[in-house]
Each structure stands twice: as structure tokens, then as C-alpha cells.
Amino acid sequence: MNRHRKYDLPAKILEAITDDGWTVIYLEAPKLHPFRIRIHKGSESFNVRIYVWHLTHGGGKMRPADEYRVQITGVDRFEKEPDGLTLILGWWESGQVFAGFDIERHSGPLGFSPSIQIREEALRKAYENGFAPWVKDNQEIAIAFHQDFLAEYIRNVSALHTFGESDTDYEVLEGVSERPDEINDTVLATVSAPRKTTVAQVARKVRDNGFKARVLNAYAGKCAFCGLQLRLVDAAHILPVSHEHSTDDTPNGLALCALHHRAYDKGLVTLNSKYQVLHNAKMAEKLKAEKLDGGLKRFLKDLRDVIVLPPAVNDRPHIDFIRESNTLRGWKRAS
């Protein structure tokens, strides 16, 4: 193994968290084992202590062939983050998947040549579904998840590893991985109180991530209105999530850069059913009158005439979503 490859892991982690809209600062000079960060978004913030190693394939005659493990090096024991969260992670490079282990199960002295295992099936499930809980032989609950789920894992890390306390709760959590659309209020009612919020948040995130991955992929990571990439592009809903007809289907999605996402939500730009990009001349006039039109020329010049169109017809914005959204957003003539 390439010796310095392990130093890519903190960078990978920071990227996963910031891509999800969180701000990250180091709590001490960057180092491995552990590295300590503070993450925040809106009113939420967490101090996080992270231990992370690459997952390597089993090996050794005494171990199952479908086993992956982290070989723990450089620490004698895991120290918990005071007033914060502690993560023990493995990174499966080929699937771009993390495995998260339960700090409560690994708090003693580590002994000689320590390692923590997870089965390949859990990693593969997470690769396919974005997220997968796994009960280990020792009854520890491990969580495998795609990198874009990392911030959500951090938010719910303490609760996630307790799902083994109830068979019903665990089954629901498995359902989140396999059928996230089926998690509704009836299902949620069966989950015990301390874990209910976690199931709801995790299910929402699995659906969002699926939507985001499909939409960004359909548009090759380009803003539909200007073509910008630079990993500054969101998956926006054409008909907002809060609307009763809104769905997480790709035709209700639009890849938009941060600027155009904001401008779209404010009603400064839109698209019509012919996929033409329109700007709101009335709003521009009003901004001019308020002397708040700085950059307007450049803004208009950067807009494409027609949106970046996904090559697959089934991925393109659906006319019904465009029309309903334009009505909702106050566009009178943009159909």
C-alpha cells in the first residue's frame, strides 16, 4: 500500500462534510489519529474526534473471506471527545463507502495488533443504497454509508449504534436502507421514542442523496442555467419539497450552481416548458430602481438561452413540474 495514501483520508472527510453544506474548522493542527474538527450548519454544531483507517480485505486463514477490516495503528486506546462525538471509521476506497463503528464497544485498551471487522455485504449494500446498518457477530451495530451521508451519520452517531437494543427498531432501520420511500408516519409510530427522530432524518437523507446523485449525474455536474461545474452545483427541486405534488424523481430536479439556485428560488430566473432560460425583467427593473443591480449585466450574460439538457429524455425536467412551479413562483407568462 502506498504509504502516504492514508493522509488523503482527512481530506476525503472534510470534502464529504463541506459538500453537504456544513462548515468545518480544525480544533487543533491537522494530524491523524485522531483528528479533531468542529462542524456547523445553521444552529447545529458538533465537536468531532475522528479515528480513520483504510479498510483492507480480510486475509489470514482464520478469518472469513468476505471480511474487511481496519488495522488499528498509532493509538493504544480510543479517547472520547469531551462534550462531543467520537467516530471510528473505515474507508472502503473501491466503493467510496465508510464503515462506522461503535465507540462504546471499543473503549478499553486495544491490545496487540487490534483490528475491527465488517462484512463485505454491508459495504456493498451501502454502495448500492447509500446506507446500510449491520449487526456484527459480537452484536455491535456497524453502519456502512456512502461518503455523502457522513454529516448525517455524525448528527445521529450516538443513536444509530443503539438500534440493536430493539429488534423492531433495527428492522425499520434496515427498511430505511432498502425501501426509504416506505418510511411513513405509520412505520415511524412503531419505532421507540429515542430513535424515532433518527429514523425520520436518516430516511429523508437517503432519499435526498439518491435524488442529488441522480440529478447531478444527469447534468454531468453542470448548472442547467450557466454550465458551471466546480462542484458548486446543487440538485434543486423544480416543484419545492413542501409542495404536495413534489417528488424526488429526476424530472422534478434541476442541477443549479449556488448562485442560480438562489436566483431560481427568488424568482429572478426560471425555465419554461421549451427549456428556455428566462429572467425576470420586472424584478431587474425594481433592483435598478433600488440601486441594487450591481453585476446584473454579467449575470444576464452568463445565462444560457436554453438549459443544459440531460442526454437521457427521461431525466429531463417534466413539463408539468415546470408549469406548476412557475405558477407557484409567480411567473405569469413563462409556460
Judged by the rule CB under 5 A, the positions of this chain that interact with Zn ion are 223, 225-226, 228, 257, 260
Phi/psi for 209 (5° steps) reads -65, -40
Q: Which is nearer to Zn ion, 142 or 223 (CB)?
A: 223
Q: Please report how close the Cβ of residue 269 comes to Zn ion at its closest, in angstroms.
A: 9
Q: Please report how close the Cβ of residue 230 comes to Zn ion at its closest, in angstroms.
A: 10
Q: Please report how close the Cβ of residue 257 comes to Zn ion at its closest, in angstroms.
A: 3
CA distance 198 to 155: 9
Look at phi and psi of residue 33 and say left if phi exceeds 0, alpha if psi is from -120 to 50, else beta. Answer: left
Q: Which is nearer to Zn ion, 84 or 221 (CB)?
A: 221
Q: Which is nearer to Zn ion, 96 or 272 (CB)?
A: 272
Query: What residues contact residue 42 under an 8 Å CB cut-off, 6+ apart?
Result: none
Q: Please report how close the Cβ of residue 260 comes to Zn ion at its closest, in angstroms.
A: 4
Q: Please report how close the Cβ of residue 300 comes to Zn ion at its closest, in angstroms.
A: 12
Q: Which is nearer to Zn ion, 226 or 271 (CB)?
A: 226
Residue type (1 letter), 241 = V
Q: Which is nearer to Zn ion, 150 or 228 (CB)?
A: 228
How many Cα atoms are found within 13 Å in the side-chain-facing hemisphere of 69? 17
**47, three cell numbers:** 465537536
Q: Which is nearer to Zn ion, 153 or 219 (CB)?
A: 219
Phi/psi for 181 (5° steps) reads -70, -20
CA distance 158 to 151: 13
Look at phi and psi of residue 228 and say left if phi exceeds 0, alpha if psi is from -120 to 50, else beta. Answer: beta
**Do residues 143 and 154 touch, judged by C-beta distance below 8 A?**
no
Q: Please report how close the Cβ of residue 232 comes to Zn ion at its closest, in angstroms.
A: 8
